[in-house]
Structure 1
Amino acid sequence: MNSISINYPKIPHWNAVFSLFMGVTSLISAEFIPISLLTNIANELHITEGQAGQSVTAVGVLAVITSLLIAPLTTKINPRHILLTFSATLIISNLLVALSPNFTILLIGRSLLGICVGGFWSLISAITLQLVPQQNVPRALSVIYAGVSVATIIALPFASYLGDLLGWRTIFYLSALLGVLTLVWQYITLPTLSTNNKSNFKEMVNLLNQSWVITGLIAIICSYAGYHIFFTYMKPFLQYNLNLSHGGLTTTLFCFGIINCFGTLIASFFINRSFQTTMISIHIILGIVAVAFLFNQHSFFENIITVLLWAFIFGIIPVGWSTWIARTLPKQAEMAGGFMVASIQLSITLAAALGGMIFDHYGVPALFLTAACIFIMAITFTYLSFSLLYKITKEKI
């Protein structure tokens, strides 16, 4: 926004931006790899698949705590050093999991990863503002968030396939190797970054006292919950409702990741032209897609197309909400980023829990109906947040 002053660099540091892309790829693939290897891990460690699944939950819990504390507790530390520390901790986390002799060590390794995930995501928006000129911020965020889509491909079809061939421990060794490459790249390319001395607990409370911020965070929760309430149970939908074979399922998940990545990469094209219209429109489209699922549950071709459309549109959402922070709260981006990460992790947890109950009692159609309703809430709170901010600033973002 024009009324907010911040010193953007004159020359973009694109190598550093791509090192953050590698960081996202390393973190998110490590976070979700156990989803593909639950049975393998459970059998070897002599635990149930439910216990093995807690290794994913542990990441989410620690990510929420870290995302809220990282900004006020690191005000005097160079963000470059913090980021490199998280990348080094990611390597240690993967090695602990790969070497874990029992469930306890497994959870310790995964908890370390949760700290990395929460801290890294909280810093992304603030660091990006110091790497590229203002007009390049949406494009840089598109590149960084493309790592989520690449990580999805690594963690789902590739990890599942290679895990059966090489063993689940080898997959985590490979994940650690990816972390080493990331750490080296970031060490070479990341410039010295300025600290933010205003990120304290008092400022956090002041930020939450602004109604447009609260409604924006609620919109983020609805946005991610609406997507994940179906995404979490997409695999059984593809397997049982569409009767996909193992090969067909792997191919579909691979295409899902590719299309999602494409949506992320071109997000800046839409965002730079009309940010508010884009943010509201993508939620409207996702709500329509959810309804389309409801009326075409057993049509194979139409459902595959709809699944891919779902992936493409959602690819825009992470870039959109990070741009919202970059444009409205550039000087408080670390705190706002922490709140956004906490909101996302909360929404994923709630979506998984609510989706599980709905799926067990009412089946897939109820998931689609619930997702559509949640997207209506996302549209409402997104519009309300923009309207409240406009009343204060008299400027559109």
Structure 2
Amino acid sequence: MTVPSSDIPSQTPYWSAILSLFMGVTCLISAEFLPISLLTPIAHDLHITEGQTGQAVTAVGIFAVITSLLIAPISQKINKKTLLLSFSVLVIFSNSIVAITDSYYVLLLGRCLLGICVGGFWSLTSAVVLDLAPTKDVPRALSIIYAGVSVATIISLPFANYLALLLGWRMIFYLAALLGVVTLIWQAISLPQLSVSKNSNFNAIFALTQQPWVCFGLFAMFFSFSGYHIVFTYLRPFIEGKLHFTNNALSLTLLGFGVVNCLGTFVAGFILNKSFRITMIVIHVILCIVAIFFYINHQITADLTKIMLWGFIFGIIPVGWSTWITRTLADRAEIAGGLMVAAIQFSITLAAAIGGMIFDHYGLNGLFIASAAIFIFAIFCTIISFSLFYKTTGNHV
């Protein structure tokens, strides 16, 4: 069998391999979010504060950023299949460590290992998809893979919280490790031999950031994810405070949010193929408008509609920016993927921090105004990036 290359995309999509990556994302992101729903029992069992337990999430983000910037240069001669399987092994190891430990520092060690997996996997995603699918099928393949994020959100929040009441929080991490074993076996069987990274040294990273259209694209990603997460991080206080939902109603709303987000991810594969540029601009405009309507109108039906629309539209965004990489930087997808992950992780961390200050001083309405303003920057950066790419290459995105 001929080994596919990033320069010459596969002419026959490897759908089983793509689905194994969907499973990998589900496993990876479920593990990343588990401490959010299991915060209190973990803190109680390890005799630490909930704030200390929360650092288990922060540790993942820090190591994800570091890994995303380093993975391409230090793995130039390693086959990407080997890297993916190594990350799957680390996910199993990470969840197992967390499940058995009685030490806070060992808990953090396990989470740092998971951060390496998060940063490394997402950095390689665009490049791997180029090996597994022909160009016309890339958006659909990415939409399948990113659907794992939505499924993982459902598993790690309402579902994990429910199971933990029955089985205990440690058993949840054992089950996450078992899911990792299934993922590893599936990937080992279904993934073909993938291409080796080329021209992915630190000089290449520096050269790429000298391209104005690339910089504006990265800024657009940053503002895109910041505008979303500055509201998403505080979605629960909005549901509880404005809608006065508690317990079952709250869980059902969050479940519905995850479902429509997953639906948006699947829809992305079709609409991005039909009109990529217009779609990428319009979805940011819609999110900006929704943020404004969050501010000016508060009725239960309207608010629920806005929450679901918020989740649905954002499902398109990660697929869209990964598609942007495959269309503009296919020959440097590993480097671009690393920069994308770094920009996204940094934006999420900053949005949560700044959002907290805004929330404390100005409440939820302050968050909505900030989100709308951030999306305006995202719109302008997206338009400028697409325009500069055309002027530089003579090609439309």
TM more than 0.5: yes
Which residue in the other structure is 1:90 paired with? Answer: 91
Of residues 238-247 and 220-229 in structure 1, the stretch that sits farther from structure 2 once superposed is 238-247
Q: Deviations over 1:372-395 (max 9, x none)?
A: 000000001000100111111121
Which residue in the other structure is 1:221 paired with? Answer: 222
Q: Deviations over 1:45-99 (max 9, x none)?
A: 1111110000000000000000000000000001000000000000000000111
Aligned partners of 1:395 and 1:199: how far apart in 2?
Answer: 24
Aligned partners of 2:84 and 2:15: how far apart in 1?
Answer: 17
Q: What amino acid maps onto 1:320 in structure 2?
A: G
Which residue in the other structure is 2:275 paired with? Answer: 274
Report the Cα offset of residue 9 of structure 1. 1.1
Which residue in the other structure is 2:371 paired with? Answer: 371
Q: Deviations over 1:112-163 (max 9, x none)?
A: 0000000000000000000011100000000000000000101111111112
Report the Cα offset of residue 227 of structure 1. 0.3
Aligned partners of 1:304 and 1:180: how far apart in 2?
Answer: 38
Matching of residue 261 in structure 1 with residue 262 in structure 2? yes
Which residue in the other structure is 1:387 paired with? Answer: 387
Q: How does 1:335-346 map to 2 (within 5 A)?
A: 335-346=335-346
Which residue in the other structure is 1:317 paired with? Answer: 317
Which residue in the other structure is 2:3 paired with? Answer: none
Q: Which SS does the other structure have where 1:391 is aligned?
A: helix
Q: Deviations over 1:154-203 (max 9, x none)?
A: 11111111122211111111111111110000000000011122111110
Q: Would the aligned equivalents of 2:229 and 2:348 in 1 still touch at CA under 8 Å?
A: yes
Q: Which SS does the other structure have where 1:209 is aligned?
A: coil
Q: Which SS does the other structure have where 2:175 is aligned?
A: helix
Q: Which SS does the other structure have where 1:223 is aligned?
A: helix
Q: Would the aligned equivalents of 2:19 and 2:145 in 1 still touch at CA under 8 Å?
A: yes
Aligned partners of 1:241 and 1:166: how far apart in 2?
Answer: 33
Report the Cα offset of residue 214 of structure 1. 0.6
Runs of 4 or more above 3 Å deviation: none
Q: Which SS does the other structure have where 2:131 is aligned?
A: coil
Q: What amino acid maps onto 1:127 in structure 2?
A: V
Q: Give unpaired runs (5+ residues) of structure 1.
A: none
Which residue in the other structure is 2:235 paired with? Answer: 234
Q: What amino acid maps onto 1:170 in structure 2?
A: M
Q: What amino acid maps onto 2:43 in structure 1?
A: A
Q: What amino acid maps onto 1:155 in structure 2?
A: S
Aligned partners of 1:222 and 1:100: how far apart in 2?
Answer: 38
Q: What amino acid maps onto 1:12 in structure 2?
A: P
Q: Which SS does the other structure have where 1:272 is aligned?
A: helix
Aligned partners of 2:186 and 2:236: how far apart in 1?
Answer: 34
Q: Would the aligned equivalents of 2:213 and 2:385 in 1 still touch at CA under 8 Å?
A: yes
Aligned partners of 1:344 and 1:388: how far apart in 2?
Answer: 22
Which residue in the other structure is 2:198 paired with? Answer: 197
Which residue in the other structure is 1:142 paired with? Answer: 143
Report the Cα offset of residue 6 of structure 1. 2.4
CA RMSD for the aligned pairs? Answer: 0.8
Q: Which SS does the other structure have where 2:48 is aligned?
A: coil
Q: What amino acid maps onto 2:393 in structure 1?
A: T
Q: Would the aligned equivalents of 2:80 and 2:197 in 1 still touch at CA under 8 Å?
A: no
Of residues 155-164 and 229-238 in structure 1, the stretch that sits farther from structure 2 once superposed is 155-164
Aligned partners of 1:64 and 1:364: how far apart in 2?
Answer: 29
Q: What amino acid maps onto 1:387 in structure 2?
A: S
Q: TM-score, normalised by structure 2?
A: 0.98
Q: Which SS does the other structure have where 2:228 is aligned?
A: helix
Aligned partners of 1:262 and 1:364: how far apart in 2?
Answer: 27
Which residue in the other structure is 1:49 paired with? Answer: 50
Aligned partners of 2:134 and 2:41: how far apart in 1?
Answer: 46
Number of aligned residues: 392
Q: What amino acid maps onto 2:91 in structure 1?
A: L
Q: What amino acid maps onto 2:309 in structure 1?
A: L
Aligned partners of 1:158 and 1:239: how far apart in 2?
Answer: 19
Which residue in the other structure is 1:327 paired with? Answer: 327
Of residues 326-335 and 265-274 in structure 1, the stretch that sits farther from structure 2 once superposed is 265-274
Which residue in the other structure is 1:283 paired with? Answer: 284
Q: What amino acid maps onto 1:391 in structure 2?
A: K
Aligned partners of 2:12 and 2:391: how far apart in 1?
Answer: 34
Aligned partners of 2:297 and 2:167: how far apart in 1?
Answer: 39
Q: Which SS does the other structure have where 1:266 is aligned?
A: helix
Q: Would the aligned equivalents of 2:13 and 2:132 in 1 still touch at CA under 8 Å?
A: yes
Of residues 152-161 and 49-58 in structure 1, the stretch that sits farther from structure 2 once superposed is 152-161
Q: Which SS does the other structure have where 2:45 is aligned?
A: helix
Aligned partners of 1:300 and 1:194: how far apart in 2?
Answer: 51
Q: Which SS does the other structure have where 1:289 is aligned?
A: helix
Matching of residue 354 in structure 1 with residue 354 in structure 2? yes
Q: Which SS does the other structure have where 1:12 is aligned?
A: coil
**Percent identical:** 60
Q: Which SS does the other structure have where 2:274 is aligned?
A: coil
Q: Would the aligned equivalents of 2:79 and 2:197 in 1 still touch at CA under 8 Å?
A: no
Q: Give unpaired runs (5+ residues) of structure 2.
A: 1-5
Q: What amino acid maps onto 1:66 in structure 2?
A: T
